[in-house]
Amino acid sequence: MNILKRVLLTGLIGLAACSTATRPVPPQDEFFAGLRALCGARFEGAMTFPESGSDDFSGKLLVAEFSGCAEREMRIPFVVGDNRSRTWVFSHLDEGLRLQHDHRHADGTPDEVTLYGGFASDSGTALSQSFPADAYTAGLIPDAATNVWTISLNASGDELTYHLERHQKPRFTAKLKRVK
């Protein structure tokens, strides 16, 4: 075989090897896949910060049900006591991973303060993603313009933490454990 054929053959083998090599999965994709893997799971817990106060969440059972599982969207109803008005919506879009808070009245109509949230920052991991408030949120709730929501799972997938900061200070934290 002449030298030109060897070079071409070696190059084709190299290209074939490159096309079958695994590429690293971006952390946002891994995180979303981890959420989807929890489809059917139920987490229960309580507010852990602030420790006391007149907050609507204080002393109430918090429940997150991983029930709305689609290929590019997770809808997770978040129940506070007997209040079923909240749903976390994680959307896996071309622009990135987005978290929205969908608030509804008992009859299913949207609350006037709904669908606020933001896109995940680039600093997340497969187990934790932070979502700074987007422009829509800042316009809807001016006080929330500096909000950052962080959703974290432990390595075994049996504990979920929902944390909110405003002005780079803790505002709310809930810890939930998997019960189903």
pTM summary value:
0.86
Spatial separation of the C-alpha atoms in residues 64 and 78, rounded to whole Å: 5
Q: Which residues pair with 130 in a beta bridge?
A: 150
Q: How far apart are CA 46 and CA 106, in angstroms?
A: 23
Task: Place 81 in a pLDDT band, splitting at 50, 70 and 90.
Answer: very high
C-alpha 66/C-alpha 43 separation (Å) is 8
Higher local confidence (pLDDT), 102 or 56: 102
Looking up residue 84, the CATH number of its domain turns out to be 2.40.128
Structural domain of 89: 26-178
From CA 179, how far away is CA 46, in angstroms rounded?
Answer: 13
Residue 114 lies in a domain: yes
Examine residue 15 and state whether it is found in any structural domain, yes or no.
no
User: Residue 31 falls within a domain, yes or no?
Assistant: yes
- DSSP H helices, the chain, are 3-20, 27-37, 135-140
> Is 7 a member of any domain?
no
Q: What is the pLDDT of residues 33-48, one digit of tens each?
A: 999 999 999 999 999 9
> Does residue 156 sit within a domain?
yes
42 HSE (CA, 13 A, CB side): 7
Overall domain count for the chain: 1
The Cα–Cα gap between 88 and 114 comes to 11
